[in-house]
Amino acid sequence: MKLREYEYIQTIAYERNITRASERLFISQPALSRFLKNIENDLGTLLFERIGKKMILTPAGKIYVERAREIIDIDTQMRNMIKDMDRRNDVLSICYPLIRSLFLAKCVLPVFQEEYRNVPITISISSQRMIQEALQSGKSQLAFGIVTPEYEKIFGYEEITQEEMVVVVPNGHSLLEKAETCDDCNYPFIDARFLREEYFALPSAMLYSGQFAEHYFAEHNIIPNVAIKLNFTEPLYQHVVEGNCIAILPSIPLQSIELENRLKYLSLRDRNHAHTIALLHNKNHTLNPTEDSLLDIIRKAYC
């Protein structure tokens, strides 16, 4: 009701004539006159001086019209922002490293798209270290990856699971016999001394997995035998399957990458060294219902 009141008074002020204002507003002239009289009675002051057929704003009327224009502008901005938010909610934008693409493509996105058929998804494949740029630039609203100490400071996130870096070996590899069951490990534990003579497939040191491997080797005084070095981590699983080498990689659920019968994981450390996998977002971003559903689907896929 108030917005209509402001618009009516603004129209009278613009037309400076009650008849022309009523025609513009598609209401009768007597009805608009009564409306104006009621407003002035309510305020206890005149908004217009009647000079012949002209309606001239009084000082109070000028203040009223000026503030009414601001209120209408604020209302318009608010409605546009809400419409924009609704449009953004209709598009899901997410970035993640290539190594996680098969997991999402096989176990997450088909389930999500079955439930949200009309929600388009914008996907950006980005290295773990480039997630920050994708989120801060607005290219993606969400990112799926590791919560590094730096990301923990600058982003909000919704935890999915605790994931560890593991030694990935082909099924039947000799290291499986040397590994020991450990209560503090998710997988059989392999001591670093057994890795010294092995040949490794290593990702670039520009990638999180490569940095982790370098740190682990330095920590245990290992000079690794490098059979293969790649700029991407995702193909390394396949190289291990072929028996060419072993690798240190994230413990992504093997069933999600269709290799549960061909690869095995060995723990390097206890559970306290696991890192958090999460859905990351900017701190001022609140997950909408669609994004909440995606989070729930990813969590279930990791079980």
pLDDT tens digit sequence for 225-240: 999 988 888 788 888 9
Rounded to whole angstroms, the Cα distance separating 3 from 50 reads: 24
Helix ranges (DSSP H) in 16-161: 18-25, 29-43, 59-89, 101-103, 109-115, 131-136, 149-154
Rounded to whole angstroms, the Cα distance separating 301 from 160 reads: 10
- Strand segments, DSSP code E, in the chain are 48-51, 54-57, 92-96, 121-125, 142-146, 155-163, 165-170, 199-203, 225-230, 247-250, 263-267, 275-282
Residue 247 has pLDDT above 60, yes or no: yes
The alpha carbon torsion through 18, 20, 22, 25 (nearest 10 deg) reads -130
Write down the mean pLDDT value for the chain: 88
The pLDDT value recorded for residue 88 is 47
Cα of first residue to Cα of last residue in the chain, in angstroms, is 53
Residue 297 has pLDDT above 90, yes or no: yes
Residue 202 has pLDDT above 70, yes or no: yes
Residue 69 has pLDDT above 70, yes or no: yes
Rounded to whole angstroms, the Cα distance separating 224 from 121 reads: 41
Q: Give every CB contact of residue 138 below 8 A, 6+ residues apart in sequence.
A: none
Q: What is the mean pLDDT of residues 31-55?
A: 89
The pLDDT value recorded for residue 89 is 52
The secondary structure element, H or E, covering residue 176 is helix 175-178
The pLDDT value recorded for residue 83 is 58
Rounded to whole angstroms, the Cα distance separating 157 from 230 reads: 30
Specify whether the CB–CB gap between 301 and 108 falls below 8 A: yes
Radius of gyration of the chain (CA): 32
Residue 87 has pLDDT above 50, yes or no: no
Tally Cβ neighbours within 10 Å of residue 68: 19
Q: Which residues pair with 267 in a beta bridge?
A: 166, 189
The pLDDT value recorded for residue 82 is 64
Name the least confident of 63-67, 185-189, 256-260.
256-260
pTM (global) more than 0.75? no
Residue 84 has pLDDT above 60, yes or no: no
Buried b (16+ CB within 10 A) or exposed e, 265-299: bbbbbeeeebbbbbbbbeeeeebeeebebbbebbb
pLDDT tens digit sequence for 145-193: 999 889 999 999 999 999 999 999 999 999 999 999 988 888 999 999 9
The secondary structure element, H or E, covering residue 6 is helix 2-15
Q: What is the mean pLDDT of residues 112-133?
A: 87
Amino acid at 133: E
